[in-house]
Amino acid sequence: MSAATEMPSPLLPVPDALTQFFWDGVAQGELRIQRCRECRHYIHYPRPICRFCRSRDLTGERVSGRAALYSWTISTQAFHPFWVERVPYTIATVELVEQPRLMFLSQVIGCAEGELRAGLPLEVTFERVAPELTLPFFKPAGAAR
Amino acid sequence: MRRVAIVGVGYSRVGRNTGLTETDLVIESSLAALADAGLETKDVDGVVSMGSDALRDAWMLGITPLDWFFAGGTGPAFVYAAHQAIAAIASGFCHTALALRIIPQQPTGAKLLGGAGAAHPMTAMLAQAVGDRQFSLPFGAGNPPQWAGLLTQRHMAQFGTTEEQFGRHVITQREHAALNDDAFFREPLTMEQYLTSRFVSKPLRILDCDYPCDSGSAVIFTTEERARDLRKPPVFVEASALSATRDLHFEILEDMAETSPKHCAEQLWARTDLRPKDVSVAGLYDGFSVITFQWLEALGFCERGGAGPFVAAGNTRLGGKIPVNTDGGACNVGRRHGANFCIEAVRQLRGECDARQVKDARVAVFSNSFGPFCGATLLTRD
């Protein structure tokens, strides 16, 4: 445990051979999702084989970053020290526009609680939540933030 | 396939910070179930467990040799152990199996923030953002109440389910708990108390969550032939179904409103001539309130999306159309991961439930988990 005066660090992702492309994309301000080069389906979370056609020819590909809000929850209790000072925040499951039911877990920012609704159009925005961590969050499409 | 019966049920002492070790929970619950059945360890030839080491448990208790054993991995808690026992007996691999669900109390709140989670098998996986968890934990997501919040919100957004309807479910369970000496929480609950209880992950409230505790639960399954000679009237497995519809991720379910219980219930009803209207009493997993709602709909007790109004109309109360969670549920008796619903179903069918007894109960259903995987079992008596 760090001393009380230090800012706690977030849990940092541990990229591996299958997921490196995703975090490389985030570093460059791109949302990349794994895609099958054979049948062209997107796959998330990344897997070593395409569950639609069994191809092993997979790649990380940039997506538009557009999505529709599917569900959300206002996290009012922190489960990790980093988030204690940051509650409440809005965890969201969003459906990326590239493929039906291509779900992505993230946070929605820049949106009043009363504006949240199923189907709300969203777009990706890269948020530096800590010096060592930038995450692809979502905001209402066309919003300034 | 051989017909399978339940002949013994039992709990360890259950509570918060009991000081009981995992083996204490195994020993106390196993001996209680054996005593209930009037069986001795030499009568048992199978041990299956979710949450403890079945081979260690069997050797420790003097149950040797084993014809069937299973020390669970990823699966829907107690009902997964129950299915290992049922399948083994039905197919003839063993004749009498002890099925366990052993749960040392899980760290919560400040203890989790202090790092205590890493020491518990059910929270250790939340301590490192490796593998698939690199897509949830860094985002401040991935903890069970958070995915439960997502699934609860989706039910509300898609079907118009209200906070008060979840509240009515929580209040109903508490009414049942008031009639159960084993329940931790027995004081009546008002709607105002529900609506002012704190959010854990809005719209999920603390009162929508089961209550973490140390618990050991044991159920003994055997053949119909052996069951006939034992102490208690046998309760029979009429039909049973185990179901998985994806890998173990709740947060990115393609459909959060209708999850694995739908497929599970279809399989269950395909394996019996009984129908939902024949069921006297139901134990529908309540790790979070929305799980019970999904089971009410999946099993056909109400229409799809209709659990909120169905519960609010009083249908799940004792004396209602289908009394649900008559022991008070895991929110009130503590976390037993579905084993309590099997045990309560057995006790209801035996007529052992005193003040909360459902009159002339003949058919009971119990279920466990939802989302990616789940299971359900239909029980009858003669």
Q: What is the ipTM of this complex?
A: 0.96
Nearest to B134 among A13, A77, A79 (CB): A13
For residues A58 and A68, state if they share a domain. no
CATH code, B8: 3.40.47.10
Structural domain containing residue A32: 16-63
Q: What is the pLDDT of residue A126?
A: 98
pLDDT band at A145 (very low <50, low <70, confident <90, very high): low
Calculate the CA B272 to chain-centre distance.
22
Q: How far apart are CA B367 and CA B284, in angstroms?
A: 5
Residue B60 lies in a domain: yes
Residue B129 lies in a domain: no
Q: Contact at 8 Å (CB) between A136 and A13?
A: no
Q: What's the domain count of chain A?
A: 2
Nearest to B140 among A70, A101, A107 (CB): A107
For residues B159 and B14, state if they share a domain. no
Say how many CA atoms lie within 13 Å of B220 toward its Cβ: 31
Structural domain containing residue B342: 142-206+236-382
Residue A87 lies in a domain: yes
* Residues from chain B contacting residue A91 (CB–CB below 8 Å): 139-141, 146, 149-150, 201
For residues B348 and B372, state if they share a domain. yes
For residues A96 and A130, state if they share a domain. yes
For residues A44 and A87, state if they share a domain. no
Q: What is the pLDDT of residue B104?
A: 92
pLDDT band at A2 (very low <50, low <70, confident <90, very high): very low
Helix (H) or strand (E) holding A35: strand A32-36
Task: Tell me what the mean pLDDT of segment B162-168 comes to.
Answer: 98
Residue in A closest to B141 by C-alpha: A91
Among residues A19, A123, A134, which one has the least CA distance to residue A63? Answer: A123
pLDDT band at B112 (very low <50, low <70, confident <90, very high): confident
For residues B302 and B369, state if they share a domain. yes
Residue B297 lies in a domain: yes
pLDDT per residue over B61-98, tens digit each? 999 999 999 988 889 999 999 999 999 999 999 999 99
pLDDT exceeds 80 at position A5: no
Residue A20 touches partner B, C-beta closer than 8 Å: no
For residues B255 and B219, state if they share a domain. no
For residues A87 and A27, state if they share a domain. no
Nearest to B138 among A11, A71, A91 (CB): A11
pLDDT per residue over B281-291, tens digit each? 999 999 999 99
For residues B301 and B343, state if they share a domain. yes
Q: Do A105 and B137 touch (CB under 8 A)?
A: no
Q: What is the pLDDT of residue B1?
A: 87
For residues A97 and A40, state if they share a domain. no
Among residues B335, B331, B342, B327, which one has the least CA distance to residue B375? Answer: B342
pLDDT per residue over B208-239, tens digit each? 999 999 999 999 999 999 999 999 999 999 99
Say how many CA atoms lie within 13 Å of B64 toward its Cβ: 7
- CA distances for B234 relative to B97, B141, B349, angstroms: 15, 45, 9
- The distance of A108 to chain B (nearest Cα, Å) reads 11
Q: How far apart are CA B11 and CA B213, in angstroms?
A: 13
Chain A interface mutation, best of B123, B152, B153, highest count of A Cβ atoms under 10 Å = B153
Q: How far apart are CA B130 and CA B125, in angstroms?
A: 9
Q: What is the pLDDT of residue A120?
A: 98
Nearest to B115 among A1, A70, A106 (CB): A1
pLDDT exceeds 80 at position B267: yes
Q: How far apart are CA B91 and CA B372, in angstroms?
A: 27
Q: Using a cut of 0.95, tell me whether the model's pTM lies above it.
A: yes
For residues B286 and B270, state if they share a domain. yes
pLDDT per residue over A88-111, tens digit each? 999 999 999 999 999 999 999 999
Task: Tell me what the mean pLDDT of segment A42-69 comes to.
Answer: 98
Q: Do B154 and A118 touch (CB under 8 A)?
A: yes
pLDDT exceeds 60 at position A3: no
Residue B125 lies in a domain: no
pLDDT per residue over B333-365, tens digit each? 999 999 999 999 999 999 999 999 999 999 999
Q: What's the domain count of chain B?
A: 2
